[in-house]
Chains A and B, each alone.
Chain A
Amino acid sequence: MLKQIEGSHAVAEVVAKCRPNVISAYPITPQTHIVEELANIVGQGKLDAEYVNVESEFSAASVVLGASAAGARAYSATTSQGLLLMSEVIYCIAGMRLPIVFTIANRAISAPLSIWNDQQDSMALRDSGWIQLHAEDNQEAADLHIQAFKIAEETNLPIMVCMDGFILTHAFEPVDTPDQKEVDNFLPPFRPTNIVDPRWPRGIGLFADPRFYMETRYILHRAMEKSEETIKKVSEDFKKAFGRDSGGFIKTYKLEAADVVIISMGSVVGTIKDLIDQLEEEGKKVGLLQICSYRPFPRKEIYNTLKDKMNIVVVEKSISLGRGGILASDVRWSFPRAEKKDRNISSFIAGLGGRNITKNDLRYMVEKVEKEPVELEFLGLNKELISEKDL
């Protein structure tokens, strides 16, 4: 049913329809509306689940770890400092192959403190063995959760559904929240195979000496790579069941004839598409490649889709300090170095700490890369705030 609803509430409603058995979270802006609404849903008896109010994000992640290891479908949501505080547990959940689903309401990292959006938080955990799916809008954010539980439970991999904090979490948009029966038909009950249960005593979380550790990481890496098929299949099945194109690996927009290709992920994709339409009217051919699954990384798709494109620009809301754009590095690595040395892959950092990314900013970016490749540039930087002695 299509209704005008806040992004956080849409996600909470849909998560509840996925029937998690255990929810545990610690409040942090801008994740709060999601977990408040879930508390309401559980409190009103509309969802039969244990809702565990904990004393920290570290414990929230640990509670869902324990719950999942005991056979429960488990869910949490966090962002920013909360996610970083969890990071030790985040790695552990992946290593233990627990199919837990998190919502990440993407937010900047301290210091300085900023409650506003960028994607540095989930980026910081990109190597942890969690699948990371990025939503473009609230419809996709909602839909991705239904897919996430299915993908997680089929692959035994945990999943972060990333949605831009405030821009999506606090935006009211029309969202079609499917009814319970539709979700039940799509998402079967959780049938875990490896749980702690006195009927079948086993150890979960044994330590591995150097004879065994490396193989566990290799297997996890291969599972991440292989999850590509499941992500694609579940997205296709979702389309068949719900009639909507949500999720998947990558998406493209007006790419075929494009002279310049923009690569990005998350909510800024909407602004980029608007700009592409405008530029088209002005006679410029610009296209978009949208990253839906950041981990596993769609390297082959990027290469196959863009192998004839010579002018590519990556715009992203995170940075590896001392190195440059993180998504840009991933994209640059997607093309064999020896091939087409004149292919330009430019890198722009934008929207850090909630700085708006306007169409004008993006237009400037396109015009710049039309003239020359850009190794690294911060978009919309206010140079008046920076003095020589700061540098």
Chain B
Amino acid sequence: MNQSAEELNKVEKKDLFTSGHRACGGCGQALAARLVQDASGENTIACVATGCLEVFSSPYPDPSWRIPFLHSLFENASAVASGVEAAYKALKKGPVNIIAQGGDGSTADIGFQSISGMFERGHNVLYVCYDNEAYMNTGVQRSSFTPLGARTSTTPMGNKTRKKNMPLIAANHGIPYVATATVDDFRDLQRKVKTALSIEGPKYIHILAPCPLGWGHHGELTVEICRLAKDTGLFPIYEIVDGKMTNVKKIPVKVPVQEYLKLQGRFSHLFKKGGSPEIIAEIQQIANQNIERYNL
């Protein structure tokens, strides 16, 4: 479907993902999930992986979903969504928006094979990843999205590896649409969801979703932290349409990574006496590489 620029840029509020769920105050994922479902509208089936989102929004008998919600396991949301899509094709039903959604683990770790299969087979499904950079549901353990230096309950001395670059991995499957987004920019996030759903084939949107509990920041700073993630260059915002990178969001005033790191308890050990200035320098280097690579 072709949508006008006005329609694409309209902020949608339909309460399809309703209040009353059990997310923490300031939860980036809850905010992102609401924005995604409201952008996609009523004609949507949500295939959700096990994780924080599923647990805080779908306890029987009080789910927060006003659209069809399908959950089975942690690592198979993409394959389940593939099956839903196959059924709609076979039964000649639809069109319908099918959105597989999950966190770090279901996207990049335990569910990696399943998502790769869904991309490769070309199912008409949007996958939305809510990236909160660790296994938050089980108590803040490291994932392959955990950034360098971040303290988690399984990297108590700080994570020693860099974050897996899932959007580029998705793009390299040759899928028609990939985008990154953050929860501070409602309009941008929802425009990307609407754009993705207007394209036939597999789509991937990677949303940075700060977790106050796991990141150790005050709930009211979720939006601010997203802005800093962008303005430091640590989380580049862009779209990849048919393999071409486009709409790269320029950073108006570049901010040193310390400004982002120091708001979060998970990085506090880097700043303490006898801390790790070399790790901070390496994180700055990652930001600089991003700024150069993506021309931020």
Chain A contacts to B: CB under 8 angstroms: 21-22, 24, 48-50, 52-56, 58-59, 62-72, 74, 88-89, 92, 96, 196-198, 200-209, 212
Contacts and interface: CB of A to CB of B under 8 A. Distances in A.
Contacts of A205: 58, 69-72
A207 B58 contact: yes
A62 B72 contact: yes
A74 B87 CA distance: 9
A63 B60 contact: no
A341 B131 CA distance: 64
A58 B60 contact: no
A58 B76 contact: yes
Given A21-B87, A63-B80, A63-B82, A202 B68 contact: yes
Contacts of A55: 113-114, 116-117, 120
B104 interface: no
Nearest to B43: A198
Contact of B55 (A49, A54, A202, A207): A207
Interface residues of B, number: 45
Contacts of A53: 121
Given A53-B121, A72-B83, A206-B61, 12 more contacts: A50-B87, A58-B76, A59-B78, A62-B76, A62-B80, A203-B63, A203-B65, A204-B69, A204-B70, A205-B69, A207-B71, A209-B59
B117 A196 contact: no
A89 B74 CA distance: 10
Nearest to B83: A66
Given A197-B68, A203-B69, A21 B117 contact: no
A198 B87 contact: no
Given A53-B121, A207-B58, A67 B84 contact: yes
A60 B54 CA distance: 23
Contacts of A68: 83, 87
A128 B66 CA distance: 31
B38 interface: no
B17 to A, nearest CB: 12
Nearest to B45: A196
Contacts of A59: 76, 78-79, 82, 113-114, 117
Interface stretch (B88-96, B224-232, B257-265): B88-96
Interface string B33-64: 00000000011110100000011001111010
Contact of B83 (A48, A70, A96): A70
Given A56-B117, A59-B79, A203-B58, A88 B73 contact: yes
10 contacts: A52-B83, A52-B86, A52-B121, A55-B116, A62-B76, A66-B83, A196-B68, A202-B68, A203-B71, A206-B60
